[in-house]
Amino acid sequence: MMLENISQNKVAEGWHKQYRHSSRVLNCDMRFAIYLPPNATQHTPVPVLYWLSGLTCTDENFMQKAAAFKSAAALGIAIVAPDTSPRGELVADDDSFDLGQGAGFYLNATQPPWNTHYQMFDYVTQELPSIIEAHFLVTDVKSIAGHSMGGHGALIAGLTLPEQYRSISAFSPICHPMQSPWGQKAFSAYLGQDTTQWRKYDACEWLKSRKATLPILIDQGDADSFLAEQLKPETVLAAAKLSGSEVQLRMHSGYDHSYYFISSFIDEHLAFHARYLQST
């Protein structure tokens, strides 16, 4: 696997770097960003937090806006941010912002034309971690987090593959995509009309029948314009109660859906993950 380093910046005594590579899983070139804390550049392998971003985002949004580097450097945690979908001239797309390129929804599409490239679940949980662990000074210890569509992706990845992660966190996640217009549109296109195929990508459906084994932290602003129609955080608590799962949901007065909200609480999320990433 060849990685092309397309940018790098020293920050908080560590390094933020962007890479391009050819993805076997997605059948196209992909880009990701990685932050390597100072100890990872001094011959000490570090654990990794994978961050999944939301609709319309790329690898750049979190890295440029979340203000996470100082805490990541102090805690000795690498951060990896993939793109939110496959991209390119040959990759299927849609004119709307909530379907197609920039809106991969972190699932494995089964319906044409999407299934040729849109295998984001396998990319973020299998191919990308194998690349990161082969090319950088990191361990195989990892946690996962995300925002909005990426919060949905983090919940699904962690709930589905608890043996791969230590902890899960999310900002403003799409908690119940089967009951969200964004989720319904994406699932219909990518997975078809059989809603039984949707359930494995819905955190609430998972939690209704299975007990979560990983610690889960969710932060949500009560001034989020998408709160009632798209995000529905109350549904994840109701589902968790059915299976006896523990989910920590924190509501924050006055905060919206933006990176102003994320940057206000990202240090607490990094500290949350550090407790599990650094435990034996």
Active site residues: 148, 224, 257
Buried b (16+ CB within 10 A) or exposed e, 248-262: ebeebeebbbebebb
CB atoms within 10 A of CB 200: 15
Residue type, 140: D
Q: Give the list of residues 6+ apart from residue 197 with CB closer than 8 angstroms, or none.
A: 110, 187, 191
**Mode of pairing for the β-strands spanning 28-36 and 14-23:** antiparallel
| Token representation of residue 85 | 């979908």
Tell me if 51 sits within 8 A of 146, measured CB to CB.
yes
